[in-house]
């Protein structure tokens, strides 16, 4: 098994990223891996925003994980900048391999380097394995996460 590389995602990674988003109990109901059109439009928006960092984990030339890190300035907490982690996915073949931890460590290290004072994320209440995973990495489940679909 080769070394893991974590690097900025490129537009050519979209098929692999979307396949991972769709290969998930929740994602299967809401993604369209056979039609990348909406993802290409979203890619343009992500690419134009310097506060967005979509990364992939690659081993032996194969994309096996992804997450999105967003840097968000703010006034509260004495003008703290925070980082938000979204869309964490690990390829089915690689779950339990420690890759998720490596990706989150990358996100935390990058947030620190970019001057953030806090990293935050929300996880669907049905993802209890994920909750244990984030707790092990030092995250505290101090907040209720509310969503409103438009």
Instruction: State the residues that interact with a second copy by CB under 8 A.
Output: 14, 17-18, 21, 27, 30-32, 38-43, 45-46, 49, 51-52, 54, 68, 70, 72-82, 84, 86-87, 108, 111-112, 116-125, 131, 134-135, 137-150
Shortest Å distance, C-beta 2 to a second copy: 25
Q: State the nearest-atom distance from the C-beta of 108 to a second copy, in Å.
A: 7
Residue 128 in tokens: 């209890």
The residue among 60 and 124 lying less far from a second copy, judged by its C-beta, is 124
Sorted by sequence, the CB contacts under 8 Å of residue 98 that are 6+ apart come out as none
Minimum distance from residue 1 beta carbon to a second copy (Å):
27
Question: Which distant-in-sequence residues (6+ apart) come within 8 Å of 137 by Cβ?
Answer: 101, 104, 105, 108
Q: How far apart are CB 3 and a second copy at their closest, in Å?
A: 25
- Output 9 or 99, the one with its CB closest to a second copy: 9
8-state DSSP, 97:
S
| Tally of residues, the chain | 150
Angle between helices 128-136 and 99-113 (to 10 degrees): 50
- The 10 Å Cβ neighbour count of residue 91 is 19
Least separation in angstroms between CB 83 and a second copy? 9
Question: With respect to a second copy, which residue has the nearer C-beta, 1 or 149?
Answer: 149
Q: Among residues 67 and 99, whose Cβ is nearest to a second copy?
A: 67
117-150 in b/e form (b: 16+ CB < 10 A) is: eebbbebeeeeeeeeebbeeeebeeeeeeeeeee
Which one, 95 or 112, has the nearer CB to a second copy?
Answer: 112
């Amino acid at each position: 098994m080769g070394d893991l590389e974590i690097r900025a995602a490129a537009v050519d990674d979209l098929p692999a990223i979307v396949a991972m988003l769709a290969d998930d109990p929740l994602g299967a109901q809401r993604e369209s891996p056979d039609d990348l059109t909406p993802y290409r439009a979203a890619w343009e928006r992500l690419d134009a925003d310097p506060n967005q960092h979509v990364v992939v984990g690659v081993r032996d030339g194969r994309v096996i994980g992804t997450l999105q890190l967003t840097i968000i300035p703010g006034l509260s907490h004495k003008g703290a900048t925070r980082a938000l982690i979204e869309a964490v996915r690990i390829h089915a073949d690689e779950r339990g391999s420690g890759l998720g931890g490596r990706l989150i460590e990358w996100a935390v290290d990058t947030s620190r380097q970019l001057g953030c004072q806090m990293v935050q994320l929300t996880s669907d209440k049905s993802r209890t394995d994920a909750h244990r995973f984030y707790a092990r990495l030092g995250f505290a489940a101090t907040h209720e996460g509310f969503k409103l679909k438009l």
